[in-house]
Structure 1
Amino acid sequence: MTNVDVLVLHGPPGSGKTTLSRSVAELLRVAETANAVIDLDDLSMVYPFPERSFARDNLRAIWPNYAAIPELKLVIPSVIVDEDELVQLRESVPGARFAVCELTAPEAVLKARVTAREPNEYWQRKLRDFVDLFLGRDDLAKIRDFQVSTHDRSAEEAAREVIGKAGWQRYVQQS
């Protein structure tokens, strides 16, 4: 298990975690750089919803398969709920170099994005409330290594900034 970089794209609902993870992966693919995306939401798509640790436990179980890929760049879109969960997430990927990018956008933009994408008022309201909860946190600076705004720019532009701040720019072609 050597030379794996893990980048967590963290942020409130509507900040672009899933979109940016795909854009980062595509830029790395075009540059023929080994990469993967593991969405923790996908690792916990089980009904009824198990404990929050379920996704991390699944990540820990599959980690050796990813860690065996030389020079892998792994992107994990997820919301880190607190400092304890950050510690647990790091422990799920032993030996990896690890960084957290917090994605940002104005509150009104975040709420508009989740309202547009969710299928009904129940989920729209739930995620708008989650935006409020996330933005009201006082621990975000302790969790992130850097921030990138996803507002008023293309996904590729934001992905290039993420890649640059993560120190991965040598792995992608410049535009």
Structure 2
Amino acid sequence: MADFFTYIATWSGIVYVAFVVDVYSRAIVGWSAATAKRAKLVLDALDMALWRRDRAGTPAGAGLVHHSDAGSQYTSFAFTAHLLDAGIDASIGSVGDALDNALMESQIGLYKTELIKPRKPWHRLADVELATAEWVDWFNNHRLHTSVGDIPPHEHETNYYAQHQPQPAAGVNA
């Protein structure tokens, strides 16, 4: 799981948008938008990701690692405690190291290129939130990704979980 945020200029001020991405499938599993760059922005995105995974029957488990940059939102006590409560290990990139943040930089670039730039000017937070929700749905369910076999992330995840269903325990024949 990787996490990152960006900002968008609107007529009413700056809007920050945070994303949580499943590194395996490239699916955006959580996101949040706010007018302040505080820990709540990234906590809300993480909560959405955890809710989505739990609802899909694929909850966060042992061995899950959350990677982010070294921003104060990600190094806050509240965020770290939230990761620990969810059983997720934290991995924070070093300042100025672009290699460990390459996936998220790519995701943010797609978001800005496919949604933000073509539809500007943006007026307020609610406009960005609605458009982002629509884009994330399209991104996860319809956009083809070469990194996962030229299929959408949702289809890639569905295929994976269909092949990795737990096998029933062998019973004793009576």
Same fold (TM over 0.5): no
TM-score (structure 1 length as normaliser): 0.32
TM-score (structure 2 length as normaliser): 0.32
Pick 1 or 2: higher relative contact order, CA cutoff 8 A, min separation 6: 1
| Larger helix share, 1 or 2 | 1
